[in-house]
Every structure is written in structure tokens, then in C-alpha cells.
Amino acid sequence: MVAFVKICRLIALSLLFGGSSAIVFAAITLVRAAGEHGMTVAQAASYNAPIFVHFSTVALVAAAVLMATELIDYQFDRKFNRHKLVRYGASFLCFACTVVFSLWLTPMMEQVRPNIEHDPAAHELFDKLHHTSKIIFLGTIIFALVSLTAPALETKVKS
């Protein structure tokens, strides 16, 4: 059971760290390529949006699995040390960032997206939401990396 929980935790963090990083890399590459072909940033963002919308669901499921595995881990091993607290804290912050991105920012951006090319107010709101989403998405990536690497930094004490 414990091994299964650890594997599920690692898979969730792999999706949250690696998947999010890959999505950002792909989006930057696609926006640059679109700009080289005469597309505006707003048009490119509009075409990239479905990637983030669909990934937000995957990320939300992975974040829920992460929190479930951390709670199960806590139930099995109620020992606390600095590394465990950093791991749990980073996992919670990763979960929080993912929830904000998936349940708040992504739906709002998706609602505004069809009008960003024609409505200056919608374009301005989209830009603000996009700026906020970049910060939140970066938080997901950083906190997932911290949670992923924290166990490797623990010193094992032999009895």
C-alpha cells in the first residue's frame, strides 16, 4: 500500500512539474512561431488556449491525487521533520496554485478569449488574467519541484 501511494505521488508530481513545464515550453514556442508568420500575440494566445484548458483538468486531477497521497502518507508516518514539513507545505501550495489556475483563471480566460481580438476591454482583461496565470502556473511548477525533491534531501538516520 505504501509503495502504491509513493508511486501515485510521484506520478502526480511528474505531471504537475514536467507536464506544466512542457506546456509552457510548447506555448512559448508556438507563440513565437505564430509571430514569425504574422500572427498577433492575441491570435496566437487564442489558438494556444485549448492546450491550457485541457491540461488544467489533467493538472487538477494530479493535484487532487497529490493531496490524497500526502494525507495517506501522513496517516502512515506521523513523524515530522523539517524536510517533511517543506514537502507537505510545497505539496499544499502546488495544490492551491493548481486549483486557482484550473477552477478560477482558466474558466475566466476561456470566457473572455472569443472577444480578445475585437473588444479592447476583453483584451485588457485577458492580459491581466494571463499575467496572473503565468505567476500561478509558475508557482505550480516550482512547488511541485520542491515537493518532488524534498525527500531526496532527507538524511536517513540508521538506528
Pairwise CA distance, residues 79 & 74, whole Å: 8
pLDDT at position 158: 46
User: How many Å separate Cα 44 from the centre of its chain?
Assistant: 21
pTM: 0.90
In the three-class reduction of DSSP (H, G, I as helix; E, B as strand; rest coil), residue 77 is classed as: coil
% residues pLDDT > 70 (the chain): 96
Residue with cell 513523524: 79
List of the chain residues with pLDDT < 50: 157-159
